[in-house]
Every structure is written in structure tokens, then in C-alpha cells.
Amino acid sequence: MGTAGRETAVDEIRDARAARDELQAALAALDVRLPSLGLDLVSLASPHLSPLVDLGRCRPDVARRLASILRGAATR
């Protein structure tokens, strides 16, 4: 990978981190915490994939709260 390719990859990782942080802040404002929210390590290591935000795992009550918030937003 040339210098331009590395710079593009770094920019994509920065963008994925920013997206993760935006989502984390938005969820926190709604009192929802996804403890495993992060970046997908496989996509970070792959030269063929764009970095992915991994929503991770959460307890059932958190999943239900998130579903309720999304349903409420969908009806607006």
C-alpha cells in the first residue's frame, strides 16, 4: 500500500471512530449504554474492507429500551 493508500485508510479509521463517538454520545443522551460499542477489529486489519462500527452486545433490558426509543422516533 502506498502513502496515499495509508492516508486514506487512516482517514477511514478516523471517520469510523468519529461515527462511533457520535453514536455513543447520542445514546448517552438517551440514557442508553452499549458497553461493547467499538470498532470492528477484523475490518480494521483488512486491506479490503472499510472500517466498521461494531454495536456489540448488551443486556436484554438495554436492547428493549433502545427498541422503544427507535419505535418512538419512527412514529414522529
Contacts 24+ apart (CB under 8 A), 6-15: 9/47, 12/50, 12/51, 13/39, 13/44, 13/51, 15/51
So what's the pLDDT on residue 8?
86
Q: What is the pLDDT of residues 41-61, one digit of tens each?
A: 999 999 899 999 999 999 999
For the cut 70, the answer to whether the pLDDT of residue 12 exceeds it is yes
Q: CA 33 → CA 36, 38, 39, 55, 59, distances in Å?
A: 9, 12, 16, 10, 10
Backbone angles phi, psi at 39, to 5 degrees: -100, 140
- CB–CB of 58/36 below 8 Å? yes
pLDDT, mean of residues 37-42: 97
So what's the pLDDT on residue 53?
98
For the cut 70, the answer to whether the pLDDT of residue 31 exceeds it is yes
